[in-house]
Amino acid sequence: MKYALILSLGITILFSCDKDEVSPSISSCTYGSRELTRTNQLIEDIPATIIAVKSPTSPVITFQIMRGGTAAALSSCGLPAEFAKDSLKVTVSGYFLTFPRMELMNLSPLPFEVTKARLRE
């Protein structure tokens, strides 16, 4: 009985620690009032520049992530506060985010959740 318990516990731990697969999950980020879901597209070490975006109708400044080689900006959900500086050169990692029927819309910035950021030289 003791060996069966140890064996079943070992098998459970072995199979529950699989890190190769990322399952989609609800993100804490929102786009308008829409709830967003992480895709399986973990993007790692994107060289980028943080851009401050000022609204003509609001005093709030938002930040977007501009990637080199593309005009499509990424949203900065999850970006640590110390990286929220205009023209700051960074390397970011994270997930693209989605919601139902998003593919029918022309969005800017693209929904993105930052999971890691570091300064770039």
pLDDT tens digit string along 57-103?
877 788 999 998 787 899 999 999 999 999 999 999 999 988 888 88
Q: In this structure, are residues 24 and 41 in contact, taking their beta carbons and an 8 Å threshold?
A: no
81-75-73 Cα angle (round to 5): 125
Tell which residue, 78, 64, 54, 45, has the closest CA to residue 107: 64
Q: Which two structure tokens, joined as six digits, stand for 120?
A: 């770039």
The predicted pLDDT at position 63 comes to 93
User: pTM for this structure?
Assistant: 0.70
Residues near 88 by beta carbon (within 8 Å), at least 6 away in sequence:
49, 50, 119
**What's the rounded Cα separation, in Å, for the pair 76 and 61?**
12
Q: Where are the domains of the chain?
A: 22-119
